[in-house]
A and B are shown apart, each in its own frame.
Chain A
Amino acid sequence: MKSKRILLYRLAMILVLVVVAAVMLVIGRGHTVYFDNVSLEYEGTTYETPYKVVVYTGGEEVAKLYDGERGMATCIGQNLDLTLEITQEKGGEEELVSVSVPLPYNMDGIIINLSAYLEGLPEEAYLTEFVPAVVPSTEEDEEVVTGDDMMMGDF
């Protein structure tokens, strides 16, 4: 009876750890998000950019974007909460818009076209994966140092 109870406790403990790990996998997924303030043509319509967009995340300014510019922020989780300060024309009034952009789990780098997003276009239009340009590798293979350094260095 006692051993059965111990087994149950152990199984419950393992289950709790697995659940916590699964939660951490979801809430801790990091993304690098790039904001594009560039005009976009989608299904025959051209969506123009505002004059200036200032992007805030967590109350901090992360990018100030004029036409054709790109900004960047890092984000942990599956949603990116943004506050956008939009100026449609030079010298015009600033408009504050708060948005929450869902981020796909499988993408490390994500490009969001702000004008497309603000126009309410579907995800395929405003969101693309950022793929770093493949540069032919000139890097030589790294020499792996596995030897003992006799405790030199910091602790």
Chain B
Amino acid sequence: MKTKHSFQSKVGQLVRDNSVPIMFILICAVCIPLSGFSPSYLLNEIVTRMGRNTFLILCLIIPIIAGLGLNFAMTLGAMAGEIALILVSDWQIWGIPGVVLAMIISIPISILLGLLCGKILNRAKGREMITSYFISFFMNGVYQLVVLYMMGPIIPIVHDSIKLPRGYGIRNTVSLLNMRQAVDNLLAINIGGVKIPVLTFLFIAALCLFLIWFRRTKLGQDMRAVGQNMDVARDAGINVDRTRIVSVLISTVVAGFGMILYLQNMGNISTYSSHSQIGMFSIAALLVGGASVEKASIGNAFLGVTLFHLMFIVAPSAGAQVTGDSMTGEYFRVFVSYGVIAIALVMYEAKKRRAKSNASRLLAEAQKQGKEERA
């Protein structure tokens, strides 16, 4: 009887812990047959999208380890990647060299933005997520100032295909045709009609190995300590502020690389919207994979990107089948994306409050007990 009860409670706990992925699996299980897509089509799409987005999603893990929560400011790295790609595109550097050069150019920009973001977040301890969210809005304004008014008159842009007809500023869309899928197609293999971008997956594997290795380093351990309790970490001699800045910095640089991989796959840059979209999508995908504000793993990133994209692919078709309007599916996935972020934040806050009230209750009980003993 006891065994049965403990089994039930274990299952219950498992369901509670993985409620978001389970919900997504159910949504996908309902939508896939309705969408009418073949398994090979779905597999092909998932593999392509996994190669496109996983790098970006993985960049969110390190700030979570360091206790900074969901790094909404990853868009800063994405902006750095976009600026680098615009420059490389104007310099007419094509193919893999173009991708590599863009990555190198993005590094100093990402470091600068990451440093700024890390310093601000250190002044807003305990409110990192909302602060990073607003940093991304603020930096979006700076990005627009640079791209819309400084590119042309101050930062030389030669090609008319990139510049706005008025002679300065960058067009809404910049074509990356000459480096489109350069990384994906190199070493790509085809198995049963499914194209596997091997080099892209090697990049992702390298990042996963880096994350595993990094967690075991002194700095990685420091980040975990800081993430668990900043005061204890400080007392243990860890430079908390520096550790937090480094975590944001790594995340921003990786986000820049991820954005370049993402955009080379897409083949064009939506100059003024790609970065803001990517932040929300990446965070939503990580949460869909079962991550929380305090805990995230590589597995969460992979599961999240698979489930999120599965929903992305099938929702419009399923919506069209059910309601006759594919926009229903579009609205549904937007609603789910924002919804999952909101749920994660509410759950985090509720958990924090519960832990705080538990601690207060325990303290009150201990004080009461002490008084009784003294009496």
Contacts and interface: CB of A to CB of B under 8 A. Distances in A.
B281 A108 contact: no
Interface in A22-47: 23-25, 27-31
B277 A155 contact: yes
Interface string A1-19: 0000000000000000100
Contact of B100 (A24, A108, A146): A24
Interface of A: 17, 20-21, 23-25, 27-31, 74, 76, 108, 137, 139-142, 144-146, 148-155
24 contacts: A21-B101, A23-B97, A24-B93, A24-B97, A24-B101, A25-B93, A28-B95, A28-B100, A29-B94, A30-B93, A31-B92, A76-B94, A141-B165, A142-B172, A144-B148, A148-B273, A149-B277, A151-B280, A151-B338, A152-B330, A154-B312, A155-B53, A155-B308, A155-B309
Contacts of B346: none
Contacts of A140: 165
A30 B272 contact: no
A66 B159 CA distance: 32
A31 B91 CA distance: 11
Given A28-B93, A76-B94, A20 B309 contact: no
Given A21-B101, A137-B165, A142-B164, A155 B281 contact: yes
A74 B312 contact: no
A76 to B, nearest CB: 5
B276 A148 contact: yes
A142 B164 CA distance: 6
A20 B172 contact: no
A30 B95 CA distance: 8
A31 B169 CA distance: 24
Interface of B: 49, 53, 91-98, 100-101, 104-105, 107, 144, 148, 159, 164-166, 169, 171-172, 178, 272-273, 276-278, 280-281, 285, 308-309, 312, 330, 334, 337-338
B344 to A, nearest CB: 16
Contacts of A145: 172, 272-273
Given A141-B165, A151-B337, A154-B312, A108 B172 contact: no
Contacts of A149: 273, 277
A13 B50 CA distance: 31
B104 A29 contact: no
Contacts of A153: 277
B312 A155 contact: yes
B312 A27 contact: no
Given A25-B91, A74-B178, 7 more contacts: A20-B104, A28-B95, A30-B95, A139-B165, A146-B272, A151-B334, A155-B285
User: Interface SS of chain A: helix, strand, loop or mixed?
Assistant: loop
B144 A30 contact: no
Contacts of B281: 151, 155
A126 B110 CA distance: 45
Contact of B178 (A17, A30, A150): A30
A6 to B, nearest CB: 13
A1 B93 CA distance: 41
B97 to A, nearest CB: 2
Nearest to B164: A142
Given A17-B107, A20-B100, A74-B178, A144 B169 contact: yes
A152 B334 CA distance: 7
Contacts of B334: 150-152
Contacts of B105: 21
A134 B276 CA distance: 36
Given A74-B178, A151-B334, A141 B93 contact: no
Nearest to A108: B92
A146 B165 contact: no
B189 to A, nearest CB: 20
Contacts of A150: 334
Contacts of A152: 330, 334
A148 to B, nearest CB: 6
A76 B165 contact: no
Given A24-B104, A145-B272, A151 B277 contact: yes
Ranked nearest first, the 7 interchain pairs of A and B with the lowest CB-CB distance are A28-B97, A30-B94, A28-B93, A24-B101, A24-B97, A146-B272, A155-B281
A27 B101 CA distance: 11
Contacts of B178: 30, 74
